[in-house]
Amino acid sequence: MKYVVSFLFLMSICVSYAQDLSPNEMKIDVNYYFEMLNKYHPNLYKKYTAIQFDSLRQSILLNIKDTMSCRDFNRLMLRVNAYTDGHTNVNINKITKWNVQTKFPYFQVREDSLLLNDNLIVFINDVSTKEIVQELSNMYSWEYSSLLKEKSINDDFLLFAAKFYGIKPPYIASFKNLKTGEMKKDTLKLVKQVYNNESKFNFEFFEEYSIAVLHYNTCYLGKDEEFFEHVLIEAFRKMKNDHIKYLFIDVTKNGGGSDEYQKYIFKHLNAKKVTIKIVKRINKKCVKELMEQDVKENRKYLASQGTTFMKRLKIRYFIWKLERAKKNFLKTGTGTLKISMPGNTKGFDGKVFVLQGRETFSAAISLVEYFRRQNMGLVVGEQAGEPICFSGNPREDILPYSKIKIRYSLVEEINYPKMETDENGFIIPDIPYDVYNRELGIEDYLKIIDMSNNLK
């Protein structure tokens, strides 16, 4: 019986992907997405104007003339992503059905061209790579860092090359040597796709070198919150007993979640007292709905998490502040909150480094921001995935007819005073270091420590 069920399930998936959509159904889906953006997004026109968004909408609608498969419609809708922030996007769930197990070797991307070992890849199976790169570049947020966009192009290149450009194995690449200009053809061999299946968090100790490493891989802790707090208490006790001098907090693989959990790390670190002003922005069209939803959610949180008198007191105080701010939110869509982050002189007695990379995103970037604001240590690595001022708290949704997954940001937060960043709002590492797609070892940690000793 289970084989019949499995067969029917697989058939239903195949039908879903093969389904044709009428022009009217697609137009309803297009209008639905743009209406959700207009109703819920807190700062939709941060980069592009309302006129540009309307032009984009009309351009997509004009491309809908005949019936279209869900897959092709999904491809058409992806162009909206270039206009929205990093937490607002159209998913590719109607293009891919499963995780790709292999991919091409990692390419560097320079001006819509692919580079591999000082060679320009001009064609693969006589298809221009530039055309594929341009399409992929236009389906990622303008907010993405160039490094995150490069990673995303690498992740999706083989899928799009096969689905839409007819590129099948063997993969014969036409290379142009950048130094000599010589052209040659060779076979591109696929490499195994590596997925981040690591635990949510774990510690690594190198006692003989007086080094500890916290791998903090996600800010989605959920039911593991209390366990996380317990692990940190025990780990810092061990560090004190073992006289550990150097702590590395690795968020290079952390794509975000909730910034609520970083407090458990920070309370063990020495920190400067800082007062910041948080300006929250919500779309005025949905302020009342979202505020009422927040109050309900916080009361649920009080019931489930208010396990001690102090916890209940803190949650009730937060709900009271939310209710107090409601009137101003309803009028303007903007609210201001002052937060004083306490200093600490009894934390970890050693040098602290936080490691960031192109996959560091959302709440993980907030962790790095507050780490630097409170002068807890040094930031090491490469440019993160997005700037520190971003819209977030996304809502998941599905288009009515195509069932393409979408999401859109609900809240924009900006912290003052503004921090020093590069011209695009990205945190600049104190120590630039190659951290992407590699497991750092003791040699790396020792090298970073040595580099830190040479900083002015």
Query: Would 94 be classed as within a structural domain?
Result: no
Query: Do both 186 and 271 map to the same domain?
Result: no
Nearest-angstrom CA–CA distance, 148 and 379: 18
Query: Do both 345 and 207 map to the same domain?
Result: yes
pLDDT, residue 193, reads: 77
Per the structure, the complete domain to which residue 328 belongs is given by 284-332
β-pair type (378-381, 351-356): parallel
Nearest-angstrom CA–CA distance, 219 and 12: 34
Query: Do both 143 and 275 map to the same domain?
Result: no
Query: Would 400 be classed as within a structural domain?
Result: no
Asked if 405 and 274 touch (Cβ cutoff 8 Å), the reply is no
Q: What is the DSSP string of 358-406?
A: TT--THHHHHHHHHHHTT-SEEEES--SS-SSEEE-PEEEE-TTT--EE
Query: Do both 313 and 370 map to the same domain?
Result: no
Query: Would 325 be classed as within a structural domain?
Result: yes
Neighbours of 423 (CB within 10 A): 5
Q: Which of 174, 192, 210 is the last residue of a domain?
A: 192
Q: Which residue stretches of the chain have pLDDT < 70?
A: 1-18, 97-100, 195-197, 305-307, 322, 325
Query: Do both 219 and 361 map to the same domain?
Result: yes
Asked if 221 and 363 touch (Cβ cutoff 8 Å), the reply is no
Q: Which of 157, 174, 192 is the last residue of a domain?
A: 192
Query: Do both 253 and 354 map to the same domain?
Result: yes
Query: Do both 160 and 276 map to the same domain?
Result: no
Beta strand segments in 39-131, E? 68-69, 89-90, 102-103, 108-110, 113-116, 119-124, 127-128
Length of the chain: 456
Query: Would 175 be classed as within a structural domain?
Result: yes
Nearest-angstrom CA–CA distance, 216 and 198: 10
Query: Would 47 be classed as within a structural domain?
Result: yes
CATH of the domain at 176: 2.30.42
The two tokens of residue 402 are 């195509």
Query: Do both 267 and 313 map to the same domain?
Result: no
Query: Do both 345 and 445 map to the same domain?
Result: yes
Q: Which candidate, 140, 147, 47, 27, places its Cα nearest to that of 91?
A: 140
What are the residues facing 432 on neighbouring strands? Answer: 381
Query: Would 161 be classed as within a structural domain?
Result: yes
Query: Would 222 be classed as within a structural domain?
Result: yes
CA within 13 Å, CB half, 311: 10
